[in-house]
Amino acid sequence: MKPSPALSPSAEPAGEPISFFDLRAQHARLRTQIDIRLARVLEHGAFVLGPEVQEFERRMASYTGAPHAVTCANGTDALTIALMADNIGPGDAVFLPSFTFTATAEAVALIGATPVFVDVDARTFLIDGDDLERRIAAVRKAGALKPRALIAVDLFGQPADYDRLNPLCESENLLLIADAAQSFGARYKGRVAGALAPVSTTSFFPSKPLGCYGDGGALFTTDEGRAAVYRSIRGHGTGDAKYEVVRIGLNSRLDSLQAAVLLAKINVVDDDRAARAALAAAYSEGLADLVMTPITLPERESAWAQYTIQVDRRDDVQAALKARGVPTAIYYPRPMHLQPAYGRWSEGPGSLPVSERLSARVLALPMHADMRPEARARIIEAVREVVKG
Protein backbone atom coordinates (compact mmCIF):
# COMPACT_ATOMS: atom_id res chain seq x y z
CA MET A 1 0.00 0.00 0.00
CA LYS A 2 1.26 3.47 -0.89
CA PRO A 3 1.69 5.64 2.21
CA SER A 4 -0.56 8.68 2.41
CA PRO A 5 1.26 12.06 2.36
CA ALA A 6 1.16 12.40 6.17
CA LEU A 7 2.73 8.98 6.54
CA SER A 8 5.66 9.77 4.29
CA PRO A 9 8.80 11.39 5.73
CA SER A 10 8.61 15.17 6.07
CA ALA A 11 11.30 17.83 6.32
CA GLU A 12 13.90 17.80 9.15
CA PRO A 13 12.18 17.88 12.56
CA ALA A 14 12.30 21.29 14.25
CA GLY A 15 13.12 21.99 17.92
CA GLU A 16 15.04 20.10 20.61
CA PRO A 17 15.38 16.33 20.16
CA ILE A 18 12.62 14.39 21.92
CA SER A 19 13.67 11.44 24.09
CA PHE A 20 11.50 8.37 24.45
CA PHE A 21 12.80 8.05 27.97
CA ASP A 22 15.09 10.55 29.73
CA LEU A 23 17.34 9.08 32.40
CA ARG A 24 19.87 11.90 32.11
CA ALA A 25 17.35 14.59 33.06
CA GLN A 26 16.26 12.56 36.06
CA HIS A 27 19.87 12.04 37.11
CA ALA A 28 20.56 15.77 36.87
CA ARG A 29 17.70 16.38 39.35
CA LEU A 30 18.95 13.77 41.82
CA ARG A 31 22.72 14.02 41.32
CA THR A 32 23.61 15.35 44.77
CA GLN A 33 21.67 12.74 46.76
CA ILE A 34 22.91 9.92 44.52
CA ASP A 35 26.53 11.08 44.77
CA ILE A 36 26.37 11.18 48.58
CA ARG A 37 24.85 7.70 48.73
CA LEU A 38 27.35 6.21 46.27
CA ALA A 39 30.32 7.77 48.09
CA ARG A 40 29.23 6.07 51.32
CA VAL A 41 29.29 2.66 49.66
CA LEU A 42 32.75 3.27 48.23
CA GLU A 43 33.85 4.22 51.75
CA HIS A 44 32.53 1.15 53.63
CA GLY A 45 33.26 -1.33 50.83
CA ALA A 46 30.44 -3.83 51.52
CA PHE A 47 29.53 -3.98 47.86
CA VAL A 48 27.07 -6.87 47.83
CA LEU A 49 24.06 -7.04 50.20
CA GLY A 50 25.61 -4.20 52.22
CA PRO A 51 23.79 -1.87 54.64
CA GLU A 52 22.10 0.06 51.79
CA VAL A 53 20.40 -3.16 50.69
CA GLN A 54 18.94 -3.77 54.17
CA GLU A 55 17.88 -0.12 54.41
CA PHE A 56 16.29 -0.23 50.96
CA GLU A 57 14.36 -3.41 51.82
CA ARG A 58 12.94 -1.72 54.95
CA ARG A 59 12.11 1.40 52.93
CA MET A 60 10.29 -0.62 50.26
CA ALA A 61 8.28 -2.54 52.85
CA SER A 62 7.12 0.72 54.40
CA TYR A 63 6.47 2.34 50.99
CA THR A 64 4.40 -0.55 49.62
CA GLY A 65 2.84 -1.75 52.86
CA ALA A 66 3.99 -5.30 52.04
CA PRO A 67 5.17 -6.92 55.28
CA HIS A 68 8.31 -8.37 53.68
CA ALA A 69 10.50 -7.03 50.85
CA VAL A 70 13.46 -9.07 49.61
CA THR A 71 15.77 -7.70 46.92
CA CYS A 72 17.44 -9.79 44.23
CA ALA A 73 19.46 -9.33 41.05
CA ASN A 74 16.63 -8.56 38.57
CA GLY A 75 12.90 -8.89 37.95
CA THR A 76 13.24 -12.14 36.04
CA ASP A 77 15.01 -13.77 38.99
CA ALA A 78 12.33 -12.39 41.29
CA LEU A 79 9.69 -14.34 39.33
CA THR A 80 11.91 -17.43 39.19
CA ILE A 81 12.56 -17.30 42.94
CA ALA A 82 8.84 -16.91 43.66
CA LEU A 83 8.07 -20.06 41.66
CA MET A 84 11.05 -22.03 43.05
CA ALA A 85 10.13 -21.21 46.65
CA ASP A 86 6.71 -22.81 46.22
CA ASN A 87 8.29 -25.89 44.59
CA ILE A 88 6.51 -25.29 41.30
CA GLY A 89 8.06 -27.33 38.50
CA PRO A 90 7.52 -30.15 36.01
CA GLY A 91 3.89 -31.25 35.69
CA ASP A 92 2.60 -27.92 37.02
CA ALA A 93 0.60 -25.37 35.04
CA VAL A 94 1.28 -21.67 35.53
CA PHE A 95 -1.24 -19.28 33.94
CA LEU A 96 -0.05 -15.96 32.55
CA PRO A 97 -1.05 -13.41 29.90
CA SER A 98 0.41 -13.95 26.45
CA PHE A 99 0.69 -10.20 25.90
CA THR A 100 3.65 -9.49 28.19
CA PHE A 101 7.41 -9.15 28.24
CA THR A 102 9.33 -12.41 27.69
CA ALA A 103 10.56 -12.60 31.28
CA THR A 104 7.13 -13.50 32.66
CA ALA A 105 7.01 -16.66 30.56
CA GLU A 106 10.74 -17.33 30.75
CA ALA A 107 10.67 -17.79 34.54
CA VAL A 108 7.93 -20.42 34.18
CA ALA A 109 9.77 -22.33 31.45
CA LEU A 110 13.11 -22.14 33.30
CA ILE A 111 11.78 -23.95 36.37
CA GLY A 112 10.33 -26.69 34.16
CA ALA A 113 6.64 -25.83 34.62
CA THR A 114 4.17 -25.44 31.75
CA PRO A 115 3.12 -21.90 30.80
CA VAL A 116 -0.59 -21.67 29.96
CA PHE A 117 -1.18 -18.49 27.99
CA VAL A 118 -4.30 -16.43 28.61
CA ASP A 119 -5.76 -13.58 26.54
CA VAL A 120 -5.96 -9.96 27.69
CA ASP A 121 -8.46 -7.13 27.59
CA ALA A 122 -8.31 -4.98 24.44
CA ARG A 123 -8.35 -1.60 26.20
CA THR A 124 -6.47 -2.19 29.46
CA PHE A 125 -3.96 -4.81 28.19
CA LEU A 126 -4.56 -6.73 31.47
CA ILE A 127 -5.32 -10.44 31.83
CA ASP A 128 -8.89 -11.33 30.85
CA GLY A 129 -10.56 -12.92 33.90
CA ASP A 130 -13.18 -14.79 31.85
CA ASP A 131 -10.57 -16.35 29.57
CA LEU A 132 -8.49 -17.22 32.63
CA GLU A 133 -11.41 -19.08 34.23
CA ARG A 134 -12.03 -20.98 30.99
CA ARG A 135 -8.39 -22.01 30.73
CA ILE A 136 -8.14 -23.13 34.35
CA ALA A 137 -11.23 -25.29 33.81
CA ALA A 138 -9.76 -26.72 30.58
CA VAL A 139 -6.47 -27.67 32.27
CA ARG A 140 -8.34 -29.33 35.14
CA LYS A 141 -10.55 -31.22 32.68
CA ALA A 142 -7.60 -32.43 30.59
CA GLY A 143 -5.99 -33.71 33.79
CA ALA A 144 -2.38 -33.84 32.54
CA LEU A 145 -1.14 -30.83 34.51
CA LYS A 146 -1.67 -29.57 38.03
CA PRO A 147 -2.76 -25.90 38.11
CA ARG A 148 -0.41 -24.25 40.64
CA ALA A 149 -0.02 -20.52 40.00
CA LEU A 150 -1.18 -17.42 38.18
CA ILE A 151 1.20 -14.64 37.25
CA ALA A 152 -0.84 -11.47 36.70
CA VAL A 153 1.07 -8.71 34.94
CA ASP A 154 0.46 -5.01 35.72
CA LEU A 155 1.20 -4.17 32.11
CA PHE A 156 2.36 -0.64 31.30
CA GLY A 157 1.88 0.28 34.97
CA GLN A 158 -1.79 -0.42 35.65
CA PRO A 159 -2.59 -2.98 38.39
CA ALA A 160 -4.52 -6.04 37.24
CA ASP A 161 -7.97 -6.79 38.68
CA TYR A 162 -6.84 -8.08 42.08
CA ASP A 163 -10.35 -7.95 43.55
CA ARG A 164 -11.29 -10.66 41.09
CA LEU A 165 -7.96 -12.52 40.93
CA ASN A 166 -7.32 -12.90 44.68
CA PRO A 167 -10.56 -14.76 45.50
CA LEU A 168 -10.35 -16.74 42.25
CA CYS A 169 -6.84 -17.94 43.10
CA GLU A 170 -7.90 -18.77 46.66
CA SER A 171 -10.81 -20.88 45.48
CA GLU A 172 -8.72 -22.55 42.76
CA ASN A 173 -5.81 -23.09 45.17
CA LEU A 174 -3.39 -21.19 42.92
CA LEU A 175 -0.50 -19.04 44.12
CA LEU A 176 -1.15 -15.51 42.85
CA ILE A 177 2.05 -13.75 41.84
CA ALA A 178 1.68 -10.11 40.77
CA ASP A 179 4.34 -9.24 38.20
CA ALA A 180 4.68 -5.58 39.18
CA ALA A 181 7.85 -5.00 37.13
CA GLN A 182 6.13 -2.07 35.39
CA SER A 183 3.92 -0.82 38.22
CA PHE A 184 6.11 0.22 41.14
CA GLY A 185 4.22 3.06 42.84
CA ALA A 186 0.84 2.26 41.23
CA ARG A 187 -2.30 2.17 43.39
CA TYR A 188 -5.37 -0.03 43.45
CA LYS A 189 -8.13 1.22 45.76
CA GLY A 190 -5.50 3.22 47.62
CA ARG A 191 -3.24 0.20 48.17
CA VAL A 192 0.20 0.17 46.64
CA ALA A 193 1.56 -2.30 44.06
CA GLY A 194 3.63 -4.87 45.93
CA ALA A 195 0.87 -5.34 48.49
CA LEU A 196 -1.96 -6.40 46.17
CA ALA A 197 -1.31 -10.16 46.08
CA PRO A 198 0.23 -12.75 48.43
CA VAL A 199 3.41 -12.51 46.35
CA SER A 200 4.57 -9.68 44.08
CA THR A 201 7.74 -9.12 42.12
CA THR A 202 9.28 -6.06 40.55
CA SER A 203 12.21 -4.94 38.42
CA PHE A 204 14.56 -2.01 38.88
CA PHE A 205 15.80 -2.05 35.27
CA PRO A 206 16.80 1.57 34.52
CA SER A 207 13.68 2.45 32.50
CA LYS A 208 11.20 1.10 35.08
CA PRO A 209 9.10 3.43 37.29
CA LEU A 210 11.76 2.92 39.98
CA GLY A 211 15.00 2.15 38.15
CA CYS A 212 18.59 1.66 39.28
CA TYR A 213 21.78 2.05 37.23
CA GLY A 214 22.08 -1.56 36.18
CA ASP A 215 19.92 -4.57 37.02
CA GLY A 216 17.93 -5.09 40.18
CA GLY A 217 14.71 -6.67 41.38
CA ALA A 218 12.63 -7.52 44.43
CA LEU A 219 9.96 -9.80 45.85
CA PHE A 220 7.20 -8.75 48.25
CA THR A 221 5.14 -11.08 50.37
CA THR A 222 2.72 -11.20 53.25
CA ASP A 223 4.26 -14.49 54.41
CA GLU A 224 7.29 -14.50 56.69
CA GLY A 225 8.14 -18.11 55.83
CA ARG A 226 8.19 -17.34 52.11
CA ALA A 227 10.38 -14.28 52.69
CA ALA A 228 12.92 -16.46 54.50
CA VAL A 229 12.96 -18.92 51.61
CA TYR A 230 13.41 -16.06 49.10
CA ARG A 231 16.46 -14.85 51.07
CA SER A 232 17.86 -18.35 51.08
CA ILE A 233 17.31 -18.93 47.35
CA ARG A 234 18.83 -15.60 46.32
CA GLY A 235 21.98 -16.55 48.26
CA HIS A 236 22.75 -20.03 46.86
CA GLY A 237 20.13 -21.83 48.97
CA THR A 238 21.99 -21.33 52.23
CA GLY A 239 20.57 -22.24 55.64
CA ASP A 240 21.12 -20.58 59.00
CA ALA A 241 24.69 -21.80 59.40
CA LYS A 242 27.41 -20.38 57.17
CA TYR A 243 28.09 -22.66 54.18
CA GLU A 244 25.12 -24.88 55.04
CA VAL A 245 23.17 -25.44 51.82
CA VAL A 246 19.56 -26.48 52.40
CA ARG A 247 18.12 -26.07 48.90
CA ILE A 248 19.25 -25.39 45.35
CA GLY A 249 19.44 -21.64 44.96
CA LEU A 250 20.78 -18.89 42.74
CA ASN A 251 23.33 -16.14 42.93
CA SER A 252 20.81 -13.30 42.80
CA ARG A 253 21.95 -10.62 45.22
CA LEU A 254 21.53 -6.86 44.85
CA ASP A 255 24.64 -4.68 44.78
CA SER A 256 24.96 -1.99 47.45
CA LEU A 257 25.67 0.62 44.75
CA GLN A 258 22.33 -0.16 43.12
CA ALA A 259 20.54 0.02 46.47
CA ALA A 260 22.22 3.39 47.07
CA VAL A 261 20.78 4.72 43.79
CA LEU A 262 17.37 3.27 44.61
CA LEU A 263 17.35 4.86 48.09
CA ALA A 264 17.83 8.26 46.48
CA LYS A 265 15.29 7.61 43.75
CA ILE A 266 12.49 6.14 45.89
CA ASN A 267 12.05 9.61 47.42
CA VAL A 268 10.81 10.95 44.08
CA VAL A 269 8.74 7.93 42.94
CA ASP A 270 5.42 9.63 43.71
CA ASP A 271 6.37 12.99 42.18
CA ASP A 272 7.67 11.32 39.03
CA ARG A 273 4.56 9.17 38.79
CA ALA A 274 2.38 12.30 39.09
CA ALA A 275 4.38 13.97 36.28
CA ARG A 276 3.95 10.92 34.04
CA ALA A 277 0.23 10.78 34.90
CA ALA A 278 -0.11 14.43 33.83
CA LEU A 279 1.63 13.64 30.54
CA ALA A 280 -0.68 10.65 30.03
CA ALA A 281 -3.72 12.86 30.69
CA ALA A 282 -2.47 15.41 28.15
CA TYR A 283 -1.92 12.69 25.54
CA SER A 284 -5.42 11.32 26.11
CA GLU A 285 -6.99 14.75 25.89
CA GLY A 286 -5.08 15.55 22.72
CA LEU A 287 -5.54 12.22 20.96
CA ALA A 288 -8.62 10.33 22.17
CA ASP A 289 -10.81 11.60 19.31
CA LEU A 290 -8.39 10.19 16.71
CA VAL A 291 -6.72 7.04 18.05
CA MET A 292 -7.48 4.37 20.62
CA THR A 293 -5.97 5.63 23.87
CA PRO A 294 -5.35 3.45 26.95
CA ILE A 295 -8.00 3.14 29.64
CA THR A 296 -7.32 3.34 33.36
CA LEU A 297 -10.02 1.51 35.31
CA PRO A 298 -11.81 3.15 38.25
CA GLU A 299 -9.95 3.22 41.57
CA ARG A 300 -6.59 2.61 39.87
CA GLU A 301 -3.59 4.91 39.58
CA SER A 302 -1.26 3.63 36.91
CA ALA A 303 2.50 4.01 37.31
CA TRP A 304 2.48 4.98 33.61
CA ALA A 305 5.55 2.97 32.72
CA GLN A 306 4.29 3.30 29.16
CA TYR A 307 1.57 5.21 27.33
CA THR A 308 0.32 2.93 24.56
CA ILE A 309 -2.01 3.93 21.76
CA GLN A 310 -3.49 1.61 19.14
CA VAL A 311 -3.39 2.54 15.46
CA ASP A 312 -3.97 0.98 12.06
CA ARG A 313 -0.92 0.69 9.78
CA ARG A 314 1.18 0.91 12.93
CA ASP A 315 4.57 0.44 11.27
CA ASP A 316 3.89 3.24 8.76
CA VAL A 317 2.74 5.52 11.57
CA GLN A 318 5.88 4.72 13.55
CA ALA A 319 8.12 5.52 10.56
CA ALA A 320 6.30 8.80 9.88
CA LEU A 321 6.61 9.85 13.53
CA LYS A 322 10.31 9.00 13.48
CA ALA A 323 10.73 11.24 10.45
CA ARG A 324 9.12 14.02 12.49
CA GLY A 325 11.57 13.47 15.35
CA VAL A 326 9.16 11.55 17.59
CA PRO A 327 10.63 8.29 18.91
CA THR A 328 8.17 5.49 19.71
CA ALA A 329 8.45 1.84 20.73
CA ILE A 330 6.47 -1.33 20.20
CA TYR A 331 5.66 -3.28 23.35
CA TYR A 332 5.22 -6.01 22.18
CA PRO A 333 5.40 -6.93 18.49
CA ARG A 334 4.55 -10.60 19.10
CA PRO A 335 2.51 -12.25 21.85
CA MET A 336 4.34 -14.95 23.76
CA HIS A 337 2.26 -17.80 22.34
CA LEU A 338 3.49 -16.91 18.84
CA GLN A 339 7.17 -16.70 19.81
CA PRO A 340 9.17 -19.58 18.31
CA ALA A 341 10.62 -20.54 21.70
CA TYR A 342 7.13 -21.03 23.18
CA GLY A 343 5.63 -22.91 20.23
CA ARG A 344 5.33 -26.18 22.12
CA TRP A 345 2.99 -24.53 24.66
CA SER A 346 0.90 -22.73 22.06
CA GLU A 347 -2.30 -23.49 20.19
CA GLY A 348 -1.00 -21.29 17.37
CA PRO A 349 -2.32 -18.24 15.51
CA GLY A 350 -5.94 -17.38 16.27
CA SER A 351 -5.89 -18.98 19.73
CA LEU A 352 -5.52 -15.69 21.65
CA PRO A 353 -7.07 -13.16 19.27
CA VAL A 354 -6.90 -10.01 21.42
CA SER A 355 -3.18 -10.46 22.17
CA GLU A 356 -2.55 -11.06 18.48
CA ARG A 357 -4.47 -7.97 17.38
CA LEU A 358 -2.77 -5.78 19.97
CA SER A 359 0.68 -6.88 18.85
CA ALA A 360 -0.08 -5.51 15.39
CA ARG A 361 -1.53 -2.19 16.61
CA VAL A 362 0.23 -0.98 19.75
CA LEU A 363 2.56 1.99 19.73
CA ALA A 364 4.12 3.49 22.87
CA LEU A 365 4.70 7.24 22.95
CA PRO A 366 7.58 8.97 24.78
CA MET A 367 6.95 8.79 28.53
CA HIS A 368 9.04 10.26 31.31
CA ALA A 369 8.73 12.74 34.17
CA ASP A 370 10.96 15.38 32.60
CA MET A 371 9.06 15.95 29.36
CA ARG A 372 8.85 19.66 28.54
CA PRO A 373 5.47 21.16 27.54
CA GLU A 374 6.83 22.14 24.07
CA ALA A 375 7.94 18.56 23.40
CA ARG A 376 4.59 17.23 24.63
CA ALA A 377 2.73 19.57 22.29
CA ARG A 378 4.96 18.57 19.35
CA ILE A 379 4.31 14.89 19.97
CA ILE A 380 0.54 15.35 20.11
CA GLU A 381 0.58 17.48 16.98
CA ALA A 382 2.77 14.99 15.10
CA VAL A 383 0.53 12.03 16.02
CA ARG A 384 -2.57 13.93 14.95
CA GLU A 385 -1.01 14.95 11.67
CA VAL A 386 0.27 11.47 10.86
CA VAL A 387 -2.89 9.60 11.85
CA LYS A 388 -5.23 12.01 10.03
CA GLY A 389 -3.31 11.24 6.86
Ligand X SMILES: Cc1ncc(COP(=O)(O)O)c(C=O)c1O
Contact between 359 and ligand X (CB under 6 A)?
no
The correct pick among 34, 103, 113, 309 for binding ligand X (CB under 6 A) is 103
Under a CB-based contact definition with an 8 Å cutoff, are residues 6 and 386 in contact? yes
Stretch that binds ligand X, among 22-30, 68-76, 121-129, 381-389 (CB under 6 A): 68-76
Per CB under 6 A, 335 contacts ligand X? no
Number of chain positions touching ligand X (CB under 6 A): 15
Tell me if 255 contacts ligand X by CB under 6 A.
no
- Does residue 183 touch ligand X according to CB under 6 A? no
Among 100, 256, 302, 308, binds ligand X (CB under 6 A): 100
With binding defined as CB under 6 A, does residue 177 bind ligand X?
no
Cβ-closest residue to ligand X?
A: 75
* Between 80 and 316, CB nearer to ligand X: 80
The correct pick among 50, 115, 198, 217 for binding ligand X (CB under 6 A) is 217
- Mark the segment that binds ligand X (CB under 6 A) among 70-78, 135-143, 250-258, 333-341: 70-78
Q: Is 104 in the site for ligand X (CB under 6 A)?
A: yes
> Per CB under 6 A, does 101 bind ligand X?
yes
Binding site for ligand X (CB under 6 A): 74-76, 100-101, 103-104, 153, 179, 181-182, 203, 205, 215, 217
